[in-house]
Amino acid sequence: MHILQEKKKPHGVKYSPREKALFKGLPKDGKHTTTQKLVKAVYKNSPPFHARTAVLVILRRLINKIEFNKEPFRIARTDGYGSKPIEVWLEEGGKQ
């Protein structure tokens, strides 16, 4: 099971509430999900107009923090291509 660990070390970076909400929206079994589904996970009731763009910024920050904190997993994603939703998933084996 993947859990974001709040680092007790002074070198760890804490995760924001939006990053935690986005992480909760990711399937833990390695299945792919889209940015559209992550928008619903982060913004429960009424997402802002540019919600997908905001989620991609949150996702990029979360990926960088997971790398920096050397979590035992990583978030992988497909490349963006126009209006096609980006797919995101969890993979085992982050940087140790």
* Interval 7-34: pLDDT, tens: 555 567 899 999 999 999 999 898 999 9
| Residue 6 domain flag | no
Per-residue b or e along 48-69, where b marks 16 or more CB atoms closer than 10 Å to that residue's CB: eeebbebbbebbebbbebbeeb
| Residue 4 domain flag | no
Count up the domains in the chain and report the number.
1
pLDDT of residue 65: 94
pLDDT at 37 over 60: yes
What CATH code is carried by the domain that includes residue 74? Answer: 1.10.10
pLDDT at 96 over 60: no
Type and span of the H or E element at 88: strand 87-92
User: What's the rounded mean pLDDT across residues 58-83?
Assistant: 92
pLDDT of residue 82: 84
69 φ/ψ angles, rounded to the nearest 5 degrees: -80, -5
Domain extent, residue 78, equals 17-92
Q: What pTM does this model have? A: 0.83
